[in-house]
């Protein structure tokens, strides 16, 4: 269709990287592109911490559940929702910031994700590969300590960036009709779409693992959602100064 649509549709996470560093020029282009993502009322409520020091990456790799890509990537970007700067701006105006709303938390988290995804696309357009690292949320208290993350800021996820050292296949997504609803929410189409996607995923795994894995998407979701994940999160966020009183 066009180069950008092609790039987006070729996306695949990269988990093994060449030693080659990411230049300062590339890093700056990536972050500038991230900054041009739309942002709620221009609040720009995020920060990104670029980690290149081997020791820090190794520690973060362990915290993320021993993910080798975190230790081995040339640069790990830690994307943080950040309302602290907004509070500083309010203070400059002598205004006390209202920060205890769920809405503010959503705004900051959404802004962070939009910026990060712009960064991902910019990186891929430069021939780099990326993988998000939600594993950092396994132990956010320790990540917060390690990166000296202040109040009203929290790391949402990491992102390994580097030159790909392997080719991985494009992972099939749900059929478009599962996620694209016309005019109103279409409940009826979902079961059929799931049926189709379960088959697609089973075939994908069978081929990719030479017959060793044959799970369906529904099976994977059953595994993922049958128990709570990271249920310390609310307490941690409150410790960081985020409040959900209203
Ligand atoms: C917020 C977020 C967190 C993720 N965390 C991890 C992670 O900790 N480790 C990992 O290997 N992949 C992680 N991923 C990558 C996803 O597994 C991957 O995007 C998904 O399976 C689709 O595959 P693809 O990116 O190759 O198309 C994460 C993705 C997102 C968006």
Report domain extents, the chain.
3-169+228-239, 176-215
What CATH code is assigned to 3-169+228-239?
Answer: 3.40.109.10
What confidence score (pLDDT) does residue 100 get?
87
Euclidean distance between CA atoms 79 and 37, whole angstroms: 14
What confidence score (pLDDT) does residue 245 get?
87
| Helix, strand, or coil (residue 32) | helix
Does residue 136 line the site of ligand 1, with CB under 6 A? no
DSSP string spanning 139-164? GHHHHHHHTT--TTEEEEEEEEEE-B
What confidence score (pLDDT) does residue 99 get?
81
What confidence score (pLDDT) does residue 44 get?
98
- Which among 246, 233, 237, 22 is positioned nearest to 126, based on CA atoms? 22
Does residue 172 line the site of ligand 1, with CB under 6 A? no
- Which among 76, 74, 145, 77 is positioned nearest to 116, based on CA atoms? 77
Q: Which residues of the chain carry a pLDDT beneath 70? A: none
Enter the tokens of residue 161.
């960036």
CB 159 within 8 A of CB 119: yes
What confidence score (pLDDT) does residue 167 get?
87
| Helix, strand, or coil (residue 131) | strand
Q: For ligand 1, pick from 69, 110, 118, 134 the residue to mutate: most ligand atoms within 8 Å of CB.
A: 134
Ligand 1 atom, smallest distance to 69 CA? 11
């Amino acid at each position: 269709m066009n180069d950008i649509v092609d790039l987006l549709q070729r996306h695949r996470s990269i988990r093994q990287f060449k030693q080659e560093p990411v230049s300062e020029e590339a890093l700056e282009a990536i972050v500038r592109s991230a900054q041009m993502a739309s942002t709620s009322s221009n609040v720009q409520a995020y920060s990104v911490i670029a980690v290149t020091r081997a020791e820090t990456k190794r520690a973060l790799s362990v915290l993320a559940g021993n993910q080798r890509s975190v230790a081995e990537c040339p640069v790990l970007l830690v994307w943080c929702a950040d309302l602290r700067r907004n509070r500083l701006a309010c203070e400059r105006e002598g205004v006390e910031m209202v920060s205890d709303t769920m809405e503010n938390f959503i705004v900051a988290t959404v802004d962070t994700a939009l910026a990060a995804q712009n960064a991902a696309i910019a990186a891929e357009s430069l021939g780099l590969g990326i993988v998000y690292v939600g594993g950092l949320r396994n132990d956010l208290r320790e990540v917060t300590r390690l990166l000296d993350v202040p109040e009203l800021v929290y790391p949402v996820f990491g992102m390994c960036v580097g030159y790909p050292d392997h080719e991985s296949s494009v992972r099939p997504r749900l059929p478009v009709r599962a996620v694209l609803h016309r005019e109103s929410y279409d409940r009826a189409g979902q079961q059929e779409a799931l049926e189709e996607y379960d088959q697609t995923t089973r075939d994908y795994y069978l081929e990719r693992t030479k017959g060793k894995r044959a799970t369906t998407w529904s099976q994977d979701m059953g595994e993922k959602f049958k128990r709570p994940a990271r249920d310390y999160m609310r307490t941690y966020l409150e410790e960081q100064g985020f409040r959900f009183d209203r």
